[in-house]
């Protein structure tokens, strides 16, 4: 049985070198790796692979940072999509890259241990 790890990010992980480095380390250890991220710039249409890392962008249209209550509907939409993405992949390990995504990892841990 192949171990699976999912990296979560609330910003575009496509350009994030820290996430790429950690994901490449997981792949070199023989772990199936996926990155789920919020594509705030609305650039990535579909999921794609770089090397053997699966990138899954979540889209809600262009979203700017720091808009507070005006982005609440997009945040709720992304929350649902991110949790459904985690459920679909059924990972053994979840790595939350920022504070926004740690909630999904904790909920998944308590539901599925």
As a whole number, the mean pLDDT across the chain is 86
- pLDDT tens digits, residue range 23-55? 999 999 999 999 999 887 778 778 889 889 999
CB 1 within 8 A of CB 91: no
Residue with tokens 């993405």: 85
Nearest to 81 by CA among 48, 37, 43, 22: 37
* Mode of pairing for the β-strands spanning 93-96 and 4-9: parallel
Q: Find the mean pLDDT for residues 4-26.
A: 88
| 10 or 84, greater pLDDT | 84
CB-CB neighbours of 49 under 10 Å: 9
- pLDDT tens digits, residue range 51-71? 899 999 988 776 666 666 777
- pLDDT tens digits, residue range 87-100? 999 999 999 988 88
Edge-to-edge strands, sheet with 32-38: 48-50, 53-58, 32-38, 4-9, 93-96
């Amino acid at each position: 049985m192949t171990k699976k790890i999912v990296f979560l990010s609330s910003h575009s992980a496509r350009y994030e070198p820290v996430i790429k480095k950690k994901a490449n380390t997981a792949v070199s250890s023989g772990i199936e790796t996926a990155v789920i991220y919020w594509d705030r710039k609305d650039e990535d249409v579909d999921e794609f692979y770089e090397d053997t890392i699966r990138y899954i962008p979540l889209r809600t249209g262009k979203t700017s940072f720091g808009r507070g209550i005006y982005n609440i509907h997009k945040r709720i939409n992304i929350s649902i999509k991110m949790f459904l993405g985690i459920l679909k992949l059924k990972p053994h390990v979840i790595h939350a890259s920022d504070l926004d995504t740690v909630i999904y990892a904790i909920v998944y841990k308590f539901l599925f241990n």
